Amino acid sequence: MSPIQRQNRLFNRRQLLQLSGLSGAGLLLSGCASSFFDNIVDKTFEPLNQSLETLILNPQKPVPEFPASAIEPNALLVNTFDFTPQIDPEKFSLTINGEVNNPMQLSMKDIQKLPLTSMTIRHICVEGWSAIVQWGGLRLRDLLFLVQPKANVRFVYFKSADGYYESWDIASAMHPQTLMAYQKNGQPLLPENGAPIRLASPIKLGYKQSKWVTQIMLVSNLLPTKGYWEDQGYEWFAGL
């Protein structure tokens, strides 16, 4: 079975969730966060979505990757707010704090000294498009190991330079293919793609993969604000 055929098995699982009506992502593809979905579907299905998708997620099982020949260099669309932050990588600092024993601030030079991991995966947007991209960076779990999360930590928040914010479950954050990426297709990440550093993972929809990340905060409970799009009705777990 080829890597692309193996990857298609993941789509079959996602399609099953969508067709069954259990995936908030599937609902959003056909009606992005309308008031009907906000008021009825989200309240009814969100706890079931999270429980079901958490059950499906194997936090240690790698997703099949693609060969470098499958990279689609022009397929990754740029979705931003009203502006793209221009961050000086020489002055950049990533803060990692919250319920941890060893809070840290890391420069890009500090980050680039850590082991580099590259992966070629499919990035999937809730709007219906996808792109095969090679990301390079460090595993998020390696960063979390450095700050020593407390035993009760269950969630991870990401804050971005443009005001975007997201939250993940700790199991997804610790997945071996969840990266803090600073390379795209073997080249330094460009500002429009999230430089100097962004989230990249094959187990979450695109809106979970924050760009221009400046802070990672570990917490035991979700805050009243769960994520930029989730607070407007999108599904929180958003797993693939």
For 181-197, the pLDDT digits (tens) are 999 999 999 999 999 99
* Residues of the chain by 3-state class (helix, strand, coil), percent to 5: 30, 25, 45
Alpha carbon distance 67, 176 (integer Å):
18
* Cβ contact 29:18 at 8 Å: yes
* Cβ contact 125:135 at 8 Å: no
pLDDT at 166 over 90: yes
Q: What is the pLDDT of residue 195?
A: 97
pLDDT at 200 over 90: yes
Q: Burial of 113 by CB count in 10 Å (0-12 exposed, 13-18 middle, 19+ buried)? A: exposed
* Cβ contact 49:237 at 8 Å: yes
Supply the pTM of this predicted model: 0.77
Query: What burial letters (b/e) apply to 142-178, b meaning 16+ CB within 10 Å?
Result: ebbeebebeeebebbbbbbbbebbbbbbbebbbbbbb
* Cβ contact 188:69 at 8 Å: no
Q: Which amino acid is at 175?
A: H
Q: What is the pLDDT of residue 78?
A: 84
Q: Which spans in 101-189 are helix H?
A: 108-112, 140-147, 170-173
Six token digits for residue 88:
């000086």
Q: Burial of 18 by CB count in 10 Å (0-12 exposed, 13-18 middle, 19+ buried)? A: middle
Mean pLDDT of 137-145: 96
Tally DSSP H helices, then E strands, for the chain. 7, 10
Alpha carbon distance 147, 101 (integer Å):
6
The structural domains of the chain, with segments of one domain joined by +, span 3-232
Secondary structure letter of residue 187 according to DSSP: E
Question: How many other CB atoms are there within 10 angstroms of residue 79's CB atom?
Answer: 11
Please report, rounded to a whole number, the percentage of residues in the chain having pLDDT higher than 90. 68
pLDDT, tens only, 48-94: 445 445 545 566 778 999 999 999 999 998 866 667 898 999 999 99
Mean pLDDT of 198-207: 96
Q: Which of 170, 172, 148, 135 is nearest to 61 (CA)?
A: 172
Domain 3-232 in CATH 3.20.20.70? The answer is no
Residue at token pair 């802070």:
215
Q: Which helix (H) or strand (E) holds 13?
A: helix 3-20
